[in-house]
């Protein structure tokens, strides 16, 4: 399998691991946050932490779009599906995210709500075309990667004159969340989350390019290496970050040059700018309100905005007190630090969002890392 197996080769992994070990200084520690859920999954799946020296710690960041979606937004979607008579279309990962009152979209479906799983925004648009007698709402979530397809669906709906299709927009922005973490008291004041460098997201960067991360390297003096999702991508990025930190550099480097450029996908960026504008503030699970961190539909496309058509009012809802998802998303705790992990909370019965998506830190550790805990405890 060309271009896949080459990035999973065990011999090459051992060579890179040896280079990391050789270049890692014994008199310092290295705290590296991976911001993308795909990286979290790869690190757990391939046991990459086991290939690193003990003084390199990988910290999971809030890079899973399902994990950072606040309960109040799920409640809004459930209300649309249960009480407004719409067909609610959304991605599969959203269906099992716990909401208020023990509900989820899947449980709402069991109560009679018309909730449909789709693989793309185009599928949701097709639903609206196939059911002209019904209102179809696309529950849109995700980072910069999934935003352009949502924009395409809205533009297509306008061209087709579809009156029964709207989008409940919950798209969020990566750079704003990174800035929020770097400005958090835990990082700047208390030092409870030491952060030395970032592994930059892969898919997101194919859209926005590497340029937006230059601010973090310059302003906060934090090196960033954008990496692909394969294990050798991640290992090579760690080696590049170790070298930067040893040399006192803070630059943006691009390990994923086969897919990412400095400018990114300008056509996709222009399409997003045509349809969306910044929200002044948006709540993230685990990060609270983050200024200018999400998008909403421009007034020009108001006819396809579910928030306007249905008068959706957002209400913040606190997480389950026993669930540590918020602290895990901020890098304060690890999945195994949560008392619910692996007992009450499992992928089959998730109590928090981090256990729902395969890209969530808890789900990844439950699938690939918990056996190691059992051996070493």
Q: How confident is the model at residue 4 (pLDDT cuts 50, 70, 90)?
A: confident
Percent of the chain exceeding pLDDT 90 equals 71
- Predicted local confidence at residue 341, as pLDDT: 92
Using only C-alpha atoms, the chain has a radius of gyration, in whole angstroms, of: 21
Asked if pLDDT for residue 377 goes beyond 60, the answer is no
Q: CA–CA separation, 123 vs 103, rounded Å?
A: 25
| Average pLDDT value for residue range 252-268 | 96
Q: CA–CA separation, 174 vs 208, rounded Å?
A: 10
- Predicted local confidence at residue 190, as pLDDT: 63
Average model confidence (pLDDT) across the chain: 92
Any idea which of 144-153, 181-190, 196-205 has the lowest mean pLDDT?
Answer: 181-190
| Average pLDDT value for residue range 194-201 | 93
Closest of 320, 319, 302 to residue 311, by C-alpha: 302
Q: How confident is the model at residue 246 (pLDDT cuts 50, 70, 90)?
A: very high
- Predicted local confidence at residue 2, as pLDDT: 64
Q: CA–CA separation, 6 vs 90, rounded Å?
A: 34
SS3 65: coil
Q: CA–CA separation, 105 vs 115, rounded Å?
A: 7
Q: How confident is the model at residue 188 (pLDDT cuts 50, 70, 90)?
A: confident
**Phi, psi (rounded to 5 degrees) for 50:** -70, -15
- Predicted local confidence at residue 143, as pLDDT: 94
- Predicted local confidence at residue 73, as pLDDT: 96
The alpha helices in 86-146, defined as continuous H runs, are: 105-110, 121-130
Q: How confident is the model at residue 5 (pLDDT cuts 50, 70, 90)?
A: confident
Higher pLDDT, 220 or 376: 220
Instruction: Please check whether residue 222 is in contact with residue 197, taking contact to mean a CB–CB distance below 8 angstroms.
Output: yes
| Average pLDDT value for residue range 322-340 | 88
- Enumerate residues 6+ apart whose C-beta is below 8 A from 274: 151, 155, 298
- Predicted local confidence at residue 115, as pLDDT: 98
| Average pLDDT value for residue range 230-254 | 97
pLDDT for 284-316, tens place per residue? 988 889 999 999 999 999 999 999 999 999 999
Residue 141, both tokens:
């979530």
| Average pLDDT value for residue range 204-220 | 94
- Predicted local confidence at residue 356, as pLDDT: 84
pLDDT for 77-110, tens place per residue? 999 999 999 999 999 989 999 899 889 999 999 9
- Predicted local confidence at residue 352, as pLDDT: 85
Strands (E) across the chain are located at 30-34, 56-60, 87-90, 114-117, 136-142, 165-171, 197-200, 224-226, 252-254, 276-278, 281-284, 288-291, 295-297
Higher pLDDT, 356 or 29: 29
pLDDT for 21-57, tens place per residue? 999 999 999 999 998 888 998 999 999 999 999 999 9
- Predicted local confidence at residue 242, as pLDDT: 98
pLDDT for 219-232, tens place per residue? 999 999 999 999 99
Q: How confident is the model at residue 248 (pLDDT cuts 50, 70, 90)?
A: very high
What is the pTM for the complete model shown? 0.90
């Amino acid at each position: 399998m060309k271009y896949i197996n080459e990035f999973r080769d065990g011999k090459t992994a051992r060579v890179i691991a040896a280079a990391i070990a050789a270049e890692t200084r014994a008199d310092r520690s290295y705290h590296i946050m991976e911001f993308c859920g795909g990286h979290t999954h790869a690190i757990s799946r391939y046991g990459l932490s086991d290939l690193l020296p003990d003084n390199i710690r990988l910290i999971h960041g809030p890079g899973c779009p399902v994990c950072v979606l606040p309960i109040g937004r799920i409640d809004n979607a459930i209300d649309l599906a249960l009480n407004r008579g719409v067909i609610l279309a959304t991605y599969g990962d959203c269906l099992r995210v716990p909401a208020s009152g023990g509900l989820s979209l899947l449980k709402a479906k069991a109560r009679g709500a018309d909730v449909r799983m789709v693989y793309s925004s185009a599928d949701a648009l097709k639903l609206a075309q196939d059911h002209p007698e019904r209102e179809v709402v696309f529950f849109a979530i995700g980072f910069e990667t999934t935003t352009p397809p949502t924009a395409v669906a809205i533009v297509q709906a306008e061209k087709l004159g579809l009156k029964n299709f709207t989008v409940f927009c919950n798209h969020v922005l990566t750079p704003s969340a990174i800035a929020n973490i770097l400005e958090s008291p835990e990082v700047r004041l208390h030092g409870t989350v030491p952060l030395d460098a970032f592994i930059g997201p892969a898919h997101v960067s194919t859209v926005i390019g590497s340029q937006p991360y230059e601010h973090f390297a310059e302003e906060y003096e934090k090196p960033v290496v954008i990496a692909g999702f394969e294990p050798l991508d991640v290992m090579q990025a760690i080696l590049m970050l170790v070298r930067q930190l040893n040399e006192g550099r803070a630059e943006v480097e691009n390990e994923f040059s086969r897919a990412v450029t400095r400018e990114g996908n300008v056509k996709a960026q222009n399409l997003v700018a045509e349809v969306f504008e910044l929200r002044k503030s948006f709540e993230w699970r685990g990060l609270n309100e983050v200024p200018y961190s999400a998008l909403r539909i421009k007034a020009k496309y108001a006819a396809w905005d579910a928030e306007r058509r249905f008068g959706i009012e957002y209400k913040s809802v606190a997480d389950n007190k026993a669930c540590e998802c918020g602290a895990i998303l901020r890098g304060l705790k690890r999945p195994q630090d949560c008392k619910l992990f692996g007992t009450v909370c499992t992928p089959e019965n998730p109590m928090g969002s981090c256990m729902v998506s395969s890209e969530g830190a808890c789900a990844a550790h439950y699938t690939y890392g918990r056996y190691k805990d059992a051996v070493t405890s």
